[in-house]
Structure 1
Amino acid sequence: MLTFSDRVARRKATVRCLLALGHLAVFCLCVPRHALAQEARATLSGRVTDPQGAAVPSAIVVVMSNDTGVKRQTQTNGQGNWIVEYLLPGAYQFSVTASGFRTMERRGITLQTADSKEIDVGLEVGSTMESVVVTSATPLIDTTSATSGTVITSQELAELPSMSHVPTLLAVLSPGVVAQDQNGNVVHLWSYIGASQFTADGGRNNIYSNNFQLDGMPNTKTGGYVSFIPPMDSVEEFRVQTNAYDASIGRQAGSTVNMETKSGSRNYHGSLYEFNQNNFLNANLFQNNLVGGSKPPVHFNEFGGTIGGPVWIPKLYHGKQKTFFFISFDDTRNQDPRPGGTRSVPTQLERNGDFSESFTTQLVSGQLQRFPIQLFNPFSVDSNGNRQPFQCDTSGNPVAPVNNIQTGGLACAKIPAQMMSAIAQNILKYVPLPNTASDPTGNAINNYVSPATRQDKFPVLSVRVDHAWNNTHHSFAVVRWSHLHEFLDDFFQSAATGGFQERVAENVGLDHVWTVSPSKILDVRFSVSRFEQPNYDKGAGFDPTQLGFSSSFGAQLKKPSFPYITGFAGATSDNPQHFGTGQAGTYQDNTYYTWSAALTHMHGNHAFRYGGDYWVLQEADAGIGNQGEFDFSNVWTRNNATVSGGTGVGSNFASFLLGLPSGGNVPVNASAFYSQRFMGFYIQDDWRVTSRLTLNVGVRWDYERPVEERFDRMTSNFDPTALSPISGAAQAAYAQILASPPASCNAACKSGVQTLAQLLPASAFKVSGAQLFAGAGGQSRTFSNPDYQDWGPRLGAAYRLWTNTVIRGGVGRFTQASYETGGQNGFSLTTPFNASLDNFITPYDTLANPFHSGILTPTGSSLGPLTNLGQGVSWYDQDPKRPYSWEYSLHVQHQLKSWLFEVGYSHNKTYLIFQDRNGNLPRFLPVAAVAGASV
């Protein structure tokens, strides 16, 4: 888990980021910035003209939400243009009032997520006391931008069948969006990977290609996956945006998923729901029918509800038309059977050391033949590695060896009780006996059917509050939380099996819109998104001294746990099993702090937008791993230490009973606290050239600082020219070989030494190459160099051919997000289990005395170029560049009554895709190094 210093650093970073919010908020008010296209709310705009088609300046425009009654007022500029931004999806109407003209009222307007609708009106001469009311549906065609995409409405979310109430799975309804997971895997509300796996418009099959937004705020964890998945009933709608030629779009090269949660309205509304699946409705599993087993326990319940409306505190406050709330709660309780519940466990005879009835099978000439198990005493071995079989007296009782020599009696497959390991016997107390007949391939194969299930508890809470301070100031705040508790794979119903998994997602966001003037609108925003994922096996924290291990062994472990046993089986070596603590604990904590601000400036026929955002990304990682892995094979109980004896000779489980592993390890893994900063700025101009043509012109600049590790526990580069500290000694040894070849060197060998001396004389022999570490020896604290060249020009156009037909197209460069961390060579170290020092003739490390030399401690960067000497290294390109895509498209939309038809072409080509390279290949070495070389 995280060390104390890691946790302290995380808290300090949180305080620094929160303090920075105040400074950045002041900066946002001074420097105009904007991120509207990554905004889930809608925009309504238009142009007001008189009967002759001339612009009407200074006309008062009042936009009202039919759902909340909240009004937003603005006025037209000198060209008759007006704009109101940051409107929640829903039904609207607006009125236009100007001196000398009748009041115009436009009703029946529906705005969707991230909509930008342009509705022009013409005024009639008359008194403002007279009114003209026009009620008609909102045009479905988009005449304001070249952005493509599909809106999944609240009606579709409610009526379309979905898996486990996961809204993002419906993204594949958008043209050009393809699901990556084609295997029919179950996706739940906590399945952040499955809920994120889709590509758009031929983009890369890569999670970093997509950008997830929730209420206009980042909703992406490190790795590119969605962080918080809201239940269906809390989502108003969402839009999948592709070909978004708007400079405010960043950190994606495929699609942006803009999701808007529901907000309260002027009336109270709510819902209750329950989804259920249980044994009564299910059929039995095939494998259970095969062995006569009963239905596995399946109990799935997802229940919840929503409520929203005006905030009302009796006798204190009534927020009708001012303050609104919406609360959503969802809880999933799931229990279903786990695959792999059929296991192989030793019989009672085998546990007693009696393998006389044990056998394995093999196909011989197409026939399945039985082969009895033969066991050999690993301690009765000669210099050639040959072993004597265990022996029994005439009554069939095993005979104990004398001075490790089997004397008297007949060969048998029984182990004397006094030779069996006490630790092995104690471990067996946590392994159940068979509960079903073995299959024909062996006497102890698939002879245990586990009742193990996966048990999930997953509560989700989402709260949103919207408040209209007055006509010029509007705010909203959101708080979201979900917590998965999962317990699974408890096949043995003991400390030997089972694991826990948790996922905690938390999100807090604040947003404020200030209408500075009828032509200027400012939006500032702050959010914190956190995703925590601890996992650990049931045996984590188990005291190994309860099994007979020494206290000194347990004291060396980072977290004492039940040992991890592999190669365990019944009698055979061809059906390995494993159990125990394979993972004593992993921990991952992703936290995003994001600030953004945006200013829209309406000037003539131009809607200028200036914007930018700043992110701080932090990730804490820790993985303990196993705390004592012991691997078993038949190598200790076969007839020869170095040569396999054939079918049925030796047994994994017999080696286990003797306490003789054939391998194993104990890792000491590094933890890490990574940090990355990102900022982006842009300018966008939506220019209404004529009543038919709108251009979207913009440019964006991004800077993504390379990742750094808080305590410099990270490698950076590899210097192939650095002279190794062992170079002098190696050169002397090389010179000695050239001057005096060893006595075993024959004539051909000596000829080769002479040739070697000509090609590489001793004076030219050097040992070079050094692993470099971040923050050490003058190296940067990041593992690669920064890239300041991420520019993203965008150009889009929308041209209305006829009233109901528009041509839209554009071209743009998009840079996707990246999150690459340097390696941690030297900060992790695995201590191997040395089963034997003489090729399995004599045991060395055993269960009774594992890891003779103690558990090794990583050296970190302290050894410099001597770190992991003689081992392979890996490193990252120092100038990796971020992958980017060029996108262009051409689409035609036509509205026929309530139908919208669209046909088009989209293109996406990605460059600088990351790849691994073998640095030893000549084509990756400097030219001078391989010139004239024979390869």
Structure 2
Amino acid sequence: MPHVSLRYCHCLAGLLAASLELFAGEHRGVVRIGGTAVPGAQVVLSRDGRRAVAMTNLKGEYTVADIGDGVWLGRVEMRGFVLLEREVRVAANQEASVWSLEMLPLAAIVGKPVSLVVAAPAAVAADPDNGGTTDAPSPMAADLLITGSVNNGAASQFGQSAAFGNHRSTLRAAYNGSLGLIAGHSALDARPFSLTGQETPMPAYSHWKGMAAFGGPLRIPHLLWQNGPNFTLNYQWTRDRSADVQAARVPNLAERAGDLSGLTDRPFDPANGAPFPGGVIPATRLSPQAQSLLRLYPEPSSASGARYNFQTLTPGGMQEDSWQSRFTQSLNRSNQLVGSFSGQSTRATASNLFGFQDGTGTLGLNASAAWRHLVSTRLSIVLGYQYSRLSARTTPFFAGRSNVSGDAGISGNNQDAANWGPPKLNFSGATPSLVDVNASFTRNQTSGASFSGLWNRERHNFAFGGDVRRQQFNLLAQQDARGTFGFTGAVAGSDLAGFLLGLPDTSSIAFGNADKYLRAGLYDWFFTDDFRVSPGFTLNVGVRWDYGSPITEKYGRLVNMEVSPGFGSGAPVVSSRPVGSLTGRNFGDSLLRPDYAGLQSRLGLSWRPVAASSLVIRAGSGVYDNTAVYLPIASALSQQPPLSTNFSVQSTPSAPLTLADGFHAPAGVASNTYAADPDLRVGYAHVWNISLQRDLPAGLAMTASYRGIKGTRGLQQILPNTVPTGAASPCPGCPVGFVYLESNGNSSRHAGQFELRRRFHDGLTAQLQYVYSKSLDNSGLAGGFQGGQSIAQNWLDLKSERGLSSFDQRHLLNLSGQYTTGMRKRRAAWLPAWGDALANDWNLAAQLSAGSGLPQTPIYFAAVQGTGVTGSLRPDFTGIPATQAAPGLFLNPSSFRTPAIGRWGNAGRNSITGPVQFSMNASLGRTFRVGERLSLDLRIEAVNALNHVTFTGWNTTVTSPQFGLPLAANPMRAVQTTLRLRF
């Protein structure tokens, strides 16, 4: 099994990723005039000195690829039409932008006043139904006249079809639509990779997605006819049924009965410290609570071993319906209304290793309206309103079905019907954690108003605007209502022995104050100047201010912990009550100081140093605030004592924990488990970049760039007043056992990128991109909240936390290409005419990505002394390279050992490199044109077309016999087919 990935490790390059960098994305759109597609229009997206350009095709559609998610300034230019500019949002699953062009007056087109005279044919008579007046061409038709004709020379040999720029003969031609189907089935897919070596059954899988789209002018007789709005309607229908393969090492029949003689760790009797004879725990000592919970574990499906002895399929399903609509109404040349409404409903089920099948359901709604007013040909303003609402419900497998904790004799946790189920069990060894999801019901809502404007003055293009948004996060859930037990082996010499004896090493729980109504406000304004200094030099200068208010709770139910300098003492502070006497500071119901210093600069330039050369130099610099830091903080502060039951403790000889009553807080434990620095500052990233672009012979274009990022005020989590295992506390009586959040972290990232692109020629286009980067930080939260791994090991030595970022990938190579058949001038002589027509216009595309592995942290699974926190401790590094592993392993267990008594482990954060990544996707497609307006798209796609095995990561828990083994394998080859009928 190691040879599967090792044979590729010398030829693969690494992955570009950064938490503070913009991720590559794609923006799509369509340009129309009066419902008719406009080909040949130029679309320009710009931001922070970057500029991406695309042209519309015959259908008026365009695509701008490989740009970062976020808000860009979009511009549509075409000779003879009003310049359109507005902000566009680039994000995953973002609907296509629709641009509606308006023609300039003829005087503006030719640059001088023109008296337009149209000679009507002599046969035209007065129309009595129209007040006795004669028909005259519409302004649009007049602007497009060819000299000497009012119908584009329709009576001559140069006549054009009734399409763009002509009166249409029917209403039907003004509408467009499509029907599509995407289908995938396990019959075309490869078998999942087996970690156990057992025969892997082919899981039943099916994927069906239907799509429908329709658009055009909305015309209702006698109400809305000629001046009705243009609309687009889209609907997607998805039904998925799948199953994953999971492997684990579960207790065998002998171990369930207390016979642990086959384990490396020998159990001992906690009562006297003596080993159990033969490693067998007497049946009379087995905990009834443990025996009850053991029934939830499946029995081994293969011979018992230290690595894996159980493998199963975990089925799941998903049903989704989504719809989007958009309406555009031009009131006159100066005013336009745009509205959109979309929604998505999802129902899904998922099961885990234990067969627990949980259900989730979401419903999201989005609506927006905007009024665009053209003050003059140089100044336009847009007023907008946006509204979104998302509700999501998660239902655990046992909810309302079986009170597992109560039936097992476990007390102290929340046993309401909605929270029925087993407590979570965590083991330091190979035994998988017993876990199920928590019940929750969220209803989030955002409403906001926006203003933006564009002003063109000589060589300046000014953009300005602002937003005001109000957010609601309404949550009905408990953080850990069923509680969590941890088994590290400290109590009985073996984690499994401690479980069988019913003696956990740690216990934690959090419930109460289930309903939370969190509120926040977001405000911003911006101003930019796109200044064309000279034909070869453009400067973009701007400033932006962002402010996100600290989140409050509607009824003042947030609890922070106010501590004295040095963490010598502390007391809980409830937001609806007066602040305690430690500091006397009161920042309102949020309990955090607002941070108004969100002023951010922007600078970008584009320079062509040699007029006759294709060399273009681009550079930019900007500061970006992270105003979305408060939600996880408020969620944690809303579940703290005295309003909730919340503690995390470690078993001690004087206060031992048991499965029966381990959720009753011992006397003297810290009243809070989480607190945040009231002076917490909003973090920001300073981003700078420079790139050189130049055309090369043979239709090639080369771009070389460098990007740097410096992050400041990153979030850090520490455990105050903690010491290494076996060491004496320097501050007896000081509060301990709570996580404290502060904003003293920092990070840096440097990346060099080389890109070589072959322009489309003779049916072939290709792009090669290589990135070399390195990211460092001292903040475990830089990669997101990851439980104990996001907490600093030594709260007094945060410098030792600096290491590779969890998203760091040293190398990344991306190669993509597309070939279209039949683009060469000469066809194959041996093909008949019909065969040549059949072989033409096929598009074959492939994308290859190869990258080095992501960093991982070695973990020594033990509780931090005096707390119930596990996962933050690291082992000692022995000096033996971790990659020098024995056959069958990917990491060497001898590279790490248990830390010395009274000392922290010296293994670095993210000091292990994960498995290399490789993928290759391919597709084959063609458009079959049946008529002028009817076409059929066929596309066949293969994900992981080479069926190459890659792994998600290694097991880095040094106390587990599975250390150095893969956690899971990435999906193998999957094939799906897409059919789309356009009309």
Indicate the residue corresponding to 2:303 in structure 1.
438
- C-alpha distance in 2 between matches for 1:774 and 1:702: 25
- C-alpha distance in 2 between matches for 1:634 and 1:461: 50
Counterparts of residues 96-107 of structure 1 (less than 5 Å): none
Matched, 1:576 2:431: yes
Deviation at residue 561 of structure 1 after TM alignment? 0.8
Counterparts of residues 195-344 of structure 1 (less than 5 Å): 210-211=70-71, 229-230=93-94, 267-287=174-194, 290-313=197-220, 315-316=221-222, 322-342=228-248, 344=250
Indicate the residue corresponding to 1:708 in structure 2.
552
- C-alpha distance in 1 between matches for 2:488 and 2:694: 71
Which residue, 616, 620, 633 being the options, matches 2:470? 616
Deviation at residue 519 of structure 1 after TM alignment? 4.4
Indicate the residue corresponding to 2:111 in structure 1.
none
Give the TM-score normalised by the residue count of structure 2.
0.50
Matched, 1:878 2:687: no
Task: Report the 3-state secondary structure (helix = DSSP H, G, I; strand = E; otherwise coil) of the residue aligned with 1:340.
Answer: strand
Q: Structure 1 residues 683-692 or 773-782, which shifts more?
A: 683-692
Q: Output one character per residue of 1:726-771: Cα deviation in whole Å (capped at 9) or x when no partner.
A: xxxxxxxxxxxxxxxxxxxxxxxxxxxxxxxxxxxxxxxxx66666
Counterparts of residues 458-607 of structure 1 (less than 5 Å): 458-493=320-355, 497-544=356-403, 548=407, 557=416, 559-564=418-423, 566=425, 574-579=429-434, 581=436, 583-587=437-441, 589-602=443-456, 607=461
Which amino acid counterpart does residue 596 of structure 2 have in structure 1?
Answer: D
- C-alpha distance in 2 between matches for 1:318 and 1:721: 71
Indicate the residue corresponding to 2:623 in structure 1.
814
Q: Structure 1 residues 902-911 or 299-308, which shifts more?
A: 902-911
Q: 1:516 to 1:219 in 2, by over 3 A?
A: closer
Q: 1:387 to 1:427 in 2, by over 3 A?
A: same
Q: 1:462, 1:478 within 8 Å by CA — same for their partners in 2?
A: yes
- C-alpha distance in 1 between matches for 2:612 and 2:226: 39
Which amino acid counterpart does residue 330 of structure 1 have in structure 2?
Answer: Q
Deviation at residue 789 of structure 1 after TM alignment? 5.9
Q: Output one character per residue of 1:105-142: Cα deviation in whole Å (capped at 9) or x when no partner.
A: xxx74132648xxxxxxxxxxxxxxxxxxxxxxxxxxx
Indicate the residue corresponding to 1:415 in structure 2.
283
Question: Which has the higher Rg, Structure 1 or Structure 2?
Answer: 1
Deviation at residue 269 of structure 1 after TM alignment? 2.2
- C-alpha distance in 2 between matches for 1:619 and 1:574: 38
Task: Report the 3-state secondary structure (helix = DSSP H, G, I; strand = E; otherwise coil) of the residue aligned with 1:338.
Answer: strand
Q: Output one character per residue of 1:77-126: Cα deviation in whole Å (capped at 9) or x when no partner.
A: xxxxxxxxxxxxx62xxxxxxxxxxxxxxxx74132648xxxxxxxxxxx
Q: 1:686, 1:694 within 8 Å by CA — same for their partners in 2?
A: yes
- C-alpha distance in 2 between matches for 1:779 and 1:599: 39
The number of residue pairs the alignment matches comes to 604
Paired-residue identity, %: 14
Task: Report the 3-state secondary structure (helix = DSSP H, G, I; strand = E; otherwise coil) of the residue aligned with 1:294.
Answer: coil
Indicate the residue corresponding to 2:929 in structure 1.
none
Which amino acid counterpart does residue 880 of structure 1 have in structure 2?
Answer: R
Indicate the residue corresponding to 1:678 in structure 2.
522
Counterparts of residues 858-873 of structure 1 (less than 5 Å): 868=670
Which amino acid counterpart does residue 489 of structure 1 have in structure 2?
Answer: S
- C-alpha distance in 1 between matches for 2:650 and 2:680: 42
Task: Report the 3-state secondary structure (helix = DSSP H, G, I; strand = E; otherwise coil) of the residue aligned with 1:459.
Answer: strand
- C-alpha distance in 1 between matches for 2:291 and 2:174: 69
- C-alpha distance in 2 between matches for 1:387 and 1:691: 85
- C-alpha distance in 2 between matches for 1:625 and 1:330: 34
Which residue, 453, 476, 483 being the options, matches 2:315? 453
Deviation at residue 477 of structure 1 after TM alignment? 1.1
Matched, 1:67 2:67: no
Q: 1:218 to 1:389 in 2, by over 3 A?
A: farther
Matched, 1:666 2:525: no
- C-alpha distance in 1 between matches for 2:479 and 2:51: 44
Structure 1 unaligned blocks of 5 or more: 1-38, 43-64, 72-89, 92-107, 116-144, 161-166, 178-195, 197-209, 221-225, 238-263, 363-370, 391-410, 636-640, 725-766, 857-865, 931-935
Deviation at residue 330 of structure 1 after TM alignment? 2.1
- C-alpha distance in 2 between matches for 1:714 and 1:463: 40
Task: Report the 3-state secondary structure (helix = DSSP H, G, I; strand = E; otherwise coil) of the residue aligned with 1:67.
Answer: strand
Indicate the residue corresponding to 1:830 in structure 2.
646
Q: 1:277 to 1:388 in 2, by over 3 A?
A: closer
Q: 2:543, 2:600 within 8 Å by CA — same for their partners in 1?
A: yes
Counterparts of residues 101-180 of structure 1 (less than 5 Å): 109-112=40-43, 114=45, 147-150=49-52, 173-174=66-67
Which amino acid counterpart does residue 357 of structure 2 have in structure 1?
Answer: G
Q: Output one character per residue of 1:221-252: Cα deviation in whole Å (capped at 9) or x when no partner.
A: xxxxx5x6247xx5779xxxxxxxxxxxxxxx
Q: 1:717, 1:772 within 8 Å by CA — same for their partners in 2?
A: yes
Q: 1:469 to 1:266 in 2, by over 3 A?
A: farther
Which amino acid counterpart does residue 584 of structure 1 have in structure 2?
Answer: N
Task: Report the 3-state secondary structure (helix = DSSP H, G, I; strand = E; otherwise coil) of the residue aligned with 1:466.
Answer: strand
Q: Output one character per residue of 1:338-367: Cα deviation in whole Å (capped at 9) or x when no partner.
A: 2424552554x877x5x68x86255xxxxx
Task: Report the 3-state secondary structure (helix = DSSP H, G, I; strand = E; otherwise coil) of the residue aligned with 2:375.
Answer: strand
Q: 1:908 to 1:292 in 2, by over 3 A?
A: closer
Q: 2:369, 2:385 within 8 Å by CA — same for their partners in 1?
A: yes
Q: 1:587 to 1:813 in 2, by over 3 A?
A: same
Q: 2:391, 2:441 within 8 Å by CA — same for their partners in 1?
A: yes
Higher relative contact order (CA 8 A, sep 6+): 1
Which residue, 566, 586, 600 being the options, matches 1:779? 586
Q: 1:389 to 1:694 in 2, by over 3 A?
A: closer
Which amino acid counterpart does residue 466 of structure 1 have in structure 2?
Answer: T
Q: 1:40, 1:114 within 8 Å by CA — same for their partners in 2?
A: no
Which amino acid counterpart does residue 52 of structure 2 have in structure 1?
Answer: T
Q: 1:488, 1:499 within 8 Å by CA — same for their partners in 2?
A: yes
Q: 1:896 to 1:625 in 2, by over 3 A?
A: same
Which amino acid counterpart does residue 282 of structure 1 have in structure 2?
Answer: D
Give the TM-score normalised by the residue count of structure 1.
0.52
Q: 1:158 to 1:422 in 2, by over 3 A?
A: farther
Q: 1:855 to 1:293 in 2, by over 3 A?
A: same
- C-alpha distance in 2 between matches for 1:679 and 1:592: 13
- C-alpha distance in 1 between matches for 2:445 and 2:469: 10
- C-alpha distance in 2 between matches for 1:309 and 1:159: 15
- C-alpha distance in 2 between matches for 1:680 and 1:599: 14
Indicate the residue corresponding to 2:152 in structure 1.
none
Deviation at residue 513 of structure 1 after TM alignment? 1.0
Which amino acid counterpart does residue 646 of structure 2 have in structure 1?
Answer: T
Task: Report the 3-state secondary structure (helix = DSSP H, G, I; strand = E; otherwise coil) of the residue aligned with 1:463.
Answer: strand
Q: Output one character per residue of 1:474-505: Cα deviation in whole Å (capped at 9) or x when no partner.
A: 11111122233332234444xxx233344544
- C-alpha distance in 1 between matches for 2:73 and 2:560: 33
Q: 1:385, 1:642 within 8 Å by CA — same for their partners in 2?
A: no
Indicate the residue corresponding to 2:833 in structure 1.
none
Q: 1:501, 1:533 within 8 Å by CA — same for their partners in 2?
A: yes
- C-alpha distance in 1 between matches for 2:504 and 2:379: 74
Deviation at residue 510 of structure 1 after TM alignment? 0.7
Q: 1:558, 1:624 within 8 Å by CA — same for their partners in 2?
A: no
Q: 1:300, 1:332 within 8 Å by CA — same for their partners in 2?
A: yes
